Amino acid sequence: MKEDAGRGYRRVVASPLPQKIVEIDAVKELWPKAIVITCGGGGIPVIEHPTGCLCGTAAVIDKDFAAELLAEQVEADILMILTEVEKVAVNYNKPDQKNLDHLSIYEANKYCEEGQFAPGSMLPKVQAAMKFVRSNPSKKAIITSLDKAIEALDGKTGTVFTFN
């Protein structure tokens, strides 16, 4: 149990990083033919036993890292993570808040080390964007709000993550 921001207590479970998308072959088969909805809420956490049996486990898969893994495995050109804000910011909700248009891996890592991004909120989004770009240096990741998604794809808003 853990205290939940003044709202009482809630049950907490492990939140491992996704290692594999079990249905990736089916996703790849459907990808060019249909709108594929997968990894919702991070996906259902399972443990693979030596026998090959998959068994559910009490855990929560981080949705941002699940999206990153999916984007890598389908060889997406862009990883777009949608959230409540138009751009990633440093000094969030402070008088000197600064919205960021572009972040290199180096800059993003520096801000992470400074504690600029809230764990369980913006931090995993930034880390997932960094992981995608690190594994695909010629590609980019974007973090923005749902209502700004098209504008972000057009390069007009959002925070764009690139290798350099």
Chain segment 79-111, per-residue pLDDT in tens: 999 999 999 999 999 999 999 999 999 999 999
Cα angle 67, 21, 40 (rounded to 5 degrees) comes to: 45
What is the reported pTM? Answer: 0.90
132 CA to centre of own chain: 9
**The domain containing residue 110 runs over which residues?**
78-164
Q: Comparing C-alpha atoms, which of 122, 104, 16, 21 is closest to residue 60?
A: 16
114 CA to centre of own chain: 20
70 with 53, same domain?
yes
135 with 163, same domain?
yes
10: left (phi over 0), alpha (psi -120 to 50) or beta: beta
41 with 98, same domain?
no
Chain segment 15-53, per-residue pLDDT in tens: 888 999 999 999 999 999 999 989 877 788 899 999 999
pLDDT band at 120 (very low <50, low <70, confident <90, very high): confident
82 with 154, same domain?
yes
